[in-house]
Chain A
C-alpha cells in the first residue's frame, strides 16, 4: 500500500504523457501497407483454400494502394520535408522516390511470383504476406533517420527474406540458401549493432543528424572511428559488397527465382538506402575514414564481381555476380560523398531505380525461360530468337541496359555515377571512374554471351516449340521494358529532375 502510494506521483507524472503530434498523411504509405497486410492475413485465415488464388492480386493491390499516399505527398511539394517523431523519421523527396521504387518493384515481384508459387505447391499465401512485411521494412527504411528505426527497418526487411529463401522446403539447395542467408545476415546485424552502440556511446544520441553534430564539435575518438567502420561493414554484408559477398551466389541460386529477384533488387536496394542515409547524414565529417573504405569496397566489389561472373554457366549465378558488380558501381559515389553529397545521393538513387527495372526484367525472362527449358544453364537459351522473338528482344533490352548501351536506362545510371565521381575532381575519384569504365567492358562480355546464345546459336535440343507466357509475367516484362527504355531515352530528364535532391542536405 505504502509502496503504491509512494509511486503515485510517479504514476501521475507518466499519465501526463502527451502523445506526439503525428503527421498521419506523411506516415500513410506505411500505415496503408500495414493495414492491408493485416487484412490479407485475416482473409487468408478465414478463407483458407478458397481465397488462396486471390492472394497475389490482393497483395499487388496493397502495393498499388500504398502508392497513392506516396503520390499525394509528392504532389504537396511545398510541405516537404515533413519531419516526424522528433527528427527520427523524415519524409522528403529522397524517401518518396525510394518508396515509389520499392512499391513498384514489389508489385513486379508479385507478378513474377504468382505462377511460380501457384504451380510449385508452396505455401503461397504466407509468401505474399512475408513479402508485404519485408516491403514495409523497406518503406520505413527510406524515411528512417535514427539508428534504432534504421535497425528495426533492416530487420523487418531481412527476417521475412530469411524465411522465403528456404521456401522450396524439399530442396536441399534452398535450405542451404536460407540457412546461409540467415547466418550471414544475423552475423552482419551483430556487427552493425556493435557499430551502432559505439556511435551511440560516442554521440549520446541515436538520431543521425545529432550524431553528425556531436562529432563535428568534438575530436574524433577511436571509439567513433570503430563505430563508423563497424556500421559500414555491417551494411556491406547486406549489400553483398566484396569481401562480404560470399553468401549471395549460393543464396540466389538456391532460393526460388522470384525471391532471388526480390533479394537482388529490393533487399539490396534497402541495404543501400540504409548505407546512404547513415553515411551522408551521420558521417558528413568522417569522410577521412569512410571514403577510403568505400573506395576499396567499390573497386573490389565491381572487379571481383565481374571477374567471377565471366566464368558462370548458370544464368542465376551470373546475375548474382553481375548484381555484386553493379553494387560496386553504386558504392562508387560514396567514395567522394564529402565533396559532392547531393550528386552522390542522387546518382545512387538513379542507379537503384534503373537497376531495379533492368534486373527485375532479366529475372522475369529467366523465370519465363525456365518454364520451358527447366534449366538455368546459359546454353539452354540457344536459339530463343527462333521460337520466342518477343522474349528475346526484351532480354536484349535488359542485357544492353546492364551493359550500359544507350538508349536503355543503364547508360544514364552509369553516366550519373561518372558524374558524381568526376565532379569531385580528385585523382582517386578519377582512378575509380577508370576502374568502373574498364569493368563495364568486362561486364559487356558476359552480358553479350547471353545475347549471342539467344540470337545466333541454335537451340541445344532442337526444340522450337513456343513458350507460353502467362499474363502476369507478360505484364512484368512489359513494365520493366518500358521503364528500362524510358529511363534511358525520353524519360532521362524526368529521372534527372526526380532525383535532384539538392534541397535535402541543406535542410536539417
Chain B
C-alpha cells in the first residue's frame, strides 16, 4: 500500500527534489560558514546560526504547507544511488509521522539559539548546534535504513560536545555517560541492520537498505526477526529513554546547557520513539504484535516511576528531566497500543512534548541565569518579582500537566483512549501518571513562584521583551494545538492508518480493535467532545 503510493509520488518527485536534502544541507553549510567567521565576533556567529536555522525552519514550514493531506505515503521523496553494489542509497521522504517532527526540529532550533547564550566560545558552540540540526533532520527524513543509522549516530557527537563543553557542574561525566550509553545500545543495531538486509536479500531481490522494500517484502523467520527487532528496540529504548535504561537522561539533561536540554528533550528523544514507529512497527509488525506488551508495561512503569521520582526532586531542571521520562512513557504506550488513536496520539505527544518541555527548559534556564541556582528550596515568591515569567510558566506547566484546551491534553487523551481499547489495565495505571503530573508540576510551581520572596528572589529581573518574543511561538503553538488540533491530526492520521493497515496485512491474527464511536465521529470529533465535556471540571484546578 505504502509502496504503491510511493511509486505514484516518485513521478512528481522531480519537481520537489532538493527540498528535503536542503533541510540537511542548509544547517551543514551554516556550520561551515560559522567555522570561517572570526571567533572574536560572537554576534556574527549567533546571527549566522540564527539565519541558517530560520531558513531551515522556513523550508520545513514550506514542506508542511505543500504536504498533501490525502496522501498517506511518503512525499517529497528524493533518491540518489550511493553504493549500488551494497544496495545503499540517499533516500529521503516525509509522511504524516515524520512531518511534524521535522517541523518541530525546524522551529525548536531557532528558538533554542535565540533564547539562550553560551557562556563561552560561541563559535564552536554554534557549529555543534548546526551540525546537530543537520543530523536530526537527516534522521527524521532518511528512508534508507543505513542512512538513518548514520544520522542516528552522528547526532551523538555534537550533543556530547555541547554537554561536555558548555554544561554545568558534572558536565564531563554526564557527557561521557550520555555518549557511551547511547552508543552501546546502538552498536548492536548496526549488526541487526546488516543481518536484516542479508537475511532479506532473497525476498527483496538483492541486498537493499530501502525501508519500504524491506518492510513490504522481507520474510524473516520469527526467531530472526525477533532478534533483529530486539537489537533495534534496545537502541531506541535507550534513546527514548524507556525505564530501566533511562539513567543517562537525568544527568545529561541537568548538566547540559539550556539549548542542549531543549534540543535533547525536544528533538533527540523523539529519535527513539520515531525509530520505534518507523523501523520497529513498520519492519517487524509480527514481533511488535507479540512483544508489544513488554514495551507497554515498561512505558507504564516509566510513567509512574518518572512521575514519582520527579515529585521528589530538589533541582528544578532535574524535575523537568524526570517528567520527560514520564511523558515519553506515554508515547511508548501509545505506539505499542497498535491502534489508530494510540499511534496518532503518540505522534501528537511527541510534538507536544517537544514544544512543552522545550519551553520548560528555556524557562528553567532563565531562572538559573538570574538566580544561579536551580534548587527549588532556594527559590520562592518569584511571582512577585517576575509576574510575566510566572504567567508564561503557568501556561507551559499546565500544558505539561495535560490540561484540556492546551496541547498536552490532545496527545495524552488519544494515547489513553487507544491504550484503553487495546489493553485496559495498562490505561488505568497510566491515568495515574496524569494525576501525578499535576501533583509534581503544581507543587513545584507553588514552591518556586508562590510564597514570600526572600533575598534575591524578591529582586529577580522579570522576562525581557526579547525573551518573551523568543518563546512566543511555543506559547502560540501550545494554545493553538490545544484548541484546534484538527489540521495536525488530519495529516498524521492517514499515515498512521496506513501503518496499521500494513500491520494488519502482515500479522494474520491481528485486527485493530476500534471502538464504534471512533468510527462514527473520528479522532477529531472525539477530542472536541472530550474538551467540551471536561474542560470546565479540570479548569478549576489552576485557581
C-beta contact mask, B56-98 vs A, less than 8 Å → 1, else 0? Answer: 0000000000000000000000000111011010000000000
Query: Are A418 and B191 interface neighbours, CB within 8 A?
Result: yes
Query: Are B194 and A422 interface neighbours, CB within 8 A?
Result: yes
Residues of B contacting A411 in the complex (Cβ-Cβ under 8 angstroms): 150, 153
CB distance from A382 to the nearest CB of B (A): 12
- B157 CB contact (under 8 Å) in A389, A400, A423: A400
Which residue from chain B places its CB closest to the CB of A441 in the assembled complex? B184
Residues of A contacting B172 in the complex (Cβ-Cβ under 8 angstroms): 452, 456-457
C-beta contact mask, A389-429 vs B, less than 8 Å → 1, else 0? Answer: 10000000000100101110001001100110011010000
Which residue from chain B places its CB closest to the CB of A496 in the assembled complex? B83
From A209-217, A302-310, A431-439, the one touching the partner chain is A431-439
Q: Does B199 contact A (CB under 8 A)?
A: yes
Query: Are B83 and A441 interface neighbours, CB within 8 A?
Result: no
Query: Are A405 and B199 interface neighbours, CB within 8 A?
Result: no
C-beta contact mask, B161-187 vs A, less than 8 Å → 1, else 0? Answer: 100110000011001100110011001
C-beta contact mask, A292-314 vs B, less than 8 Å → 1, else 0? Answer: 00000000000000000000000
Query: Are A437 and B82 interface neighbours, CB within 8 A?
Result: no
CB distance from B36 to the nearest CB of A (A): 13
Which residue from chain A places its CB closest to the CB of B152 in the assembled complex? A406
Q: Does B188 contact A (CB under 8 A)?
A: yes
A448 to B81, CA, bound (A): 33
Query: Are B187 and A437 interface neighbours, CB within 8 A?
Result: yes
Residues of B contacting A440 in the complex (Cβ-Cβ under 8 angstroms): 187
Query: Are A415 and B164 interface neighbours, CB within 8 A?
Result: no
A457 to B171, CA, bound (A): 11
Residues of B contacting A492 in the complex (Cβ-Cβ under 8 angstroms): 82-83, 88
Query: Are B83 and A422 interface neighbours, CB within 8 A?
Result: no
Q: Does B245 contact A (CB under 8 A)?
A: no
CB distance from B149 to the nearest CB of A (A): 8
Q: Does B388 contact A (CB under 8 A)?
A: no
Which residue from chain A places its CB closest to the CB of B83 in the assembled complex? A496
| Contact residues of A between 433 and 465, Cβ < 8 Å to B | 433-434, 437-438, 440-441, 444-445, 448, 452, 455-457
A285 to B82, CA, bound (A): 35
A400 to B194, CA, bound (A): 21
CB distance from B375 to the nearest CB of A (A): 25
Q: Does A44 contact B (CB under 8 A)?
A: no
| Contact residues of A between 448 and 502, Cβ < 8 Å to B | 448, 452, 455-457, 492-493, 496-497, 500
Query: Are A500 and B183 interface neighbours, CB within 8 A?
Result: no
Residues of A contacting B183 in the complex (Cβ-Cβ under 8 angstroms): 403, 441, 444
A434 to B234, CA, bound (A): 14
Number of interface residues of A (CB under 8 A): 34
A452 to B175, CA, bound (A): 9
Query: Are A406 and B154 interface neighbours, CB within 8 A?
Result: yes
- B194 CB contact (under 8 Å) in A418, A493, A500: A418
Query: Are A437 and B190 interface neighbours, CB within 8 A?
Result: yes
Query: Are B190 and A418 interface neighbours, CB within 8 A?
Result: yes
A422 to B384, CA, bound (A): 64
Residues of A contacting B199 in the complex (Cβ-Cβ under 8 angstroms): 425
Highest count of chain B CB atoms <10 Å: which of A448, A456, A457? A456
Residues of A contacting B83 in the complex (Cβ-Cβ under 8 angstroms): 492-493, 496-497
A448-B179, A456-B172 are contacts. A438–B150 as well, Cβ < 8 Å? no
Query: Are A448 and B176 interface neighbours, CB within 8 A?
Result: yes
Query: Are A430 and B164 interface neighbours, CB within 8 A?
Result: no
Residues of B contacting A415 in the complex (Cβ-Cβ under 8 angstroms): 146, 190, 194
Q: Does B510 contact A (CB under 8 A)?
A: no
A415 to B189, CA, bound (A): 12
A405-B156, A456-B165, A457-B172 are contacts. A437–B194 as well, Cβ < 8 Å? no
- A438 CB contact (under 8 Å) in B124, B153, B187: B187
A457 to B172, CA, bound (A): 9
- B175 CB contact (under 8 Å) in A389, A438, A456: A456
Query: Are A496 and B150 interface neighbours, CB within 8 A?
Result: no
A422-B194, A422-B198, A496-B85 are contacts. A455–B161 as well, Cβ < 8 Å? yes
A455 to B179, CA, bound (A): 15
Residues of B contacting A419 in the complex (Cβ-Cβ under 8 angstroms): 86, 194
A385 to B128, CA, bound (A): 15
Query: Are B161 and A407 interface neighbours, CB within 8 A?
Result: no
A247 to B153, CA, bound (A): 35
C-beta contact mask, B378-389 vs A, less than 8 Å → 1, else 0? Answer: 000000000000
Query: Are A406 and B180 interface neighbours, CB within 8 A?
Result: no
- B154 CB contact (under 8 Å) in A403, A407, A422: A407
Q: Does B195 contact A (CB under 8 A)?
A: yes
A419 to B124, CA, bound (A): 35
CB distance from B193 to the nearest CB of A (A): 9
A6 to B191, CA, bound (A): 72
Query: Are B156 and A425 interface neighbours, CB within 8 A?
Result: no
CB distance from A433 to the nearest CB of B (A): 5
A422-B191, A493-B83 are contacts. A445–B165 as well, Cβ < 8 Å? no
CB distance from B373 to the nearest CB of A (A): 23
Query: Are B176 and A452 interface neighbours, CB within 8 A?
Result: yes
Highest count of chain B CB atoms <10 Å: which of A406, A414, A492, A496? A406
Q: A405-B153, A441-B184, A455-B164 are in contact. List 12 more A-B contacts (CB 8 A).
A: A403-B183, A405-B156, A411-B150, A415-B190, A422-B198, A423-B198, A444-B183, A445-B180, A456-B164, A457-B172, A493-B82, A497-B83
A-B contact pairs, 17 of them (CB 8 A): A389-B124, A405-B157, A414-B190, A419-B86, A419-B194, A422-B194, A425-B198, A433-B191, A441-B187, A445-B180, A448-B160, A448-B176, A452-B175, A455-B161, A455-B164, A456-B171, A492-B88
Closest 6 CB pairs of A and B: A437-B187, A406-B150, A496-B83, A441-B184, A422-B194, A418-B194
